């Protein structure tokens, strides 16, 4: 490995969509993650249906993907934002319905607070739509206390 290549770290991306054919959009985004330069998908959760959390609109389709990546957190974030834009993502107001939402949940053990990115994601422990699929693919990152705290949020695992 060349000296200028970052070492590989395990990163987690939460995926969600609730406009258009949300299931197809999330499945396409999972394929697109597999083609992201400097990264490879190592695990993908099942798809889940959830009601909007602190938002309005149709139900969401959600999933979580674990990536092994050589990208820095900001490089990965910018790649995810480009994928969102390619799917027509608009941000007319906070928590608006969306064609695709990609959140970087963690990037190795990195702790980061910048105007552009906070790691780990500051609210992931409050959201069943992140914790339940994350528990499926990376149970060591999800405590039973975290799951209990979100147990009132409805979430349905979809059949393949």
Whether 114 maps to a domain, the answer reads yes
- Using one digit for the tens of pLDDT, what is the confidence trace for 96-135? 567 899 999 999 999 999 999 999 999 999 999 999 999 9
Q: What pLDDT, on a 0 to 100 scale, did the predictor assign at position 1? A: 42
Whether 4 maps to a domain, the answer reads no
Q: Which CATH number covers residue 74?
A: 3.30.70.560
Query: What's the whole-number average pLDDT of the chain?
Result: 90
Whether 1 maps to a domain, the answer reads no
Domain count along the chain: 1
Q: What pLDDT, on a 0 to 100 scale, did the predictor assign at position 98? A: 75
Give the position of tokens 């608009």: 90
Whether 72 maps to a domain, the answer reads yes
Higher pLDDT, 95 or 127: 127
Q: Tell me which residue range forms the domain holding 152.
A: 9-157
Whether 141 maps to a domain, the answer reads yes
Whether 48 maps to a domain, the answer reads yes
Give the model's confidence band at 38: pLDDT under 50 very low, under 70 low, under 90 confident, else very high. Answer: very high
Whether 3 maps to a domain, the answer reads no
Catalytic residues, by residue number, are 89, 98, 101, 103
**Residue 94 clears pLDDT 70, i.e. is over it:** no
The tokens describing 56, both together, are 């309005």
What count of other Cβ atoms lies within 10 Å of the Cβ of residue 136?
A: 17
- Using one digit for the tens of pLDDT, what is the confidence trace for 20-30? 899 999 999 99
Residues in the chain: 160
Q: What pLDDT, on a 0 to 100 scale, did the predictor assign at position 79? A: 95
Whether 125 maps to a domain, the answer reads yes
Q: What pLDDT, on a 0 to 100 scale, did the predictor assign at position 2? A: 46
Cα separation of 92 and 83, whole Å? 18
pTM of structure:
0.90
> What percent of the chain has pLDDT above 90?
78
**Residue 95 clears pLDDT 70, i.e. is over it:** no
């Amino acid at each position: 490995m060349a000296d200028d290549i970052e070492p590989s770290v395990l990163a987690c991306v939460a995926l969600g969509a609730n406009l258009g054919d949300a299931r197809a959009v999330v499945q396409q985004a999972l394929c697109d993650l597999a083609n992201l330069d400097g990264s490879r998908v190592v695990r993908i959760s099942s798809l889940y249906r959830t009601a909007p959390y602190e938002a309005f609109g149709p139900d969401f389709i959600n999933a979580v993907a674990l990536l092994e990546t050589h990208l820095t957190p900001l490089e990965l974030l910018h790649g995810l934002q480009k994928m969102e834009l390619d799917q027509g993502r608009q941000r007319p107001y906070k928590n608006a319905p969306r064609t695709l939402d990609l959140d970087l949940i963690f990037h190795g053990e990195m702790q980061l607070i910048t105007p552009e990115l906070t790691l780990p994601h500051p609210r992931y422990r409050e959201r069943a739509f992140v914790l339940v699929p994350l528990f499926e693919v990376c149970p060591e990152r999800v405590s039973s206390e975290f799951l209990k705290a979100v147990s009132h949020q409805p979430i349905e695992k979809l059949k393949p």
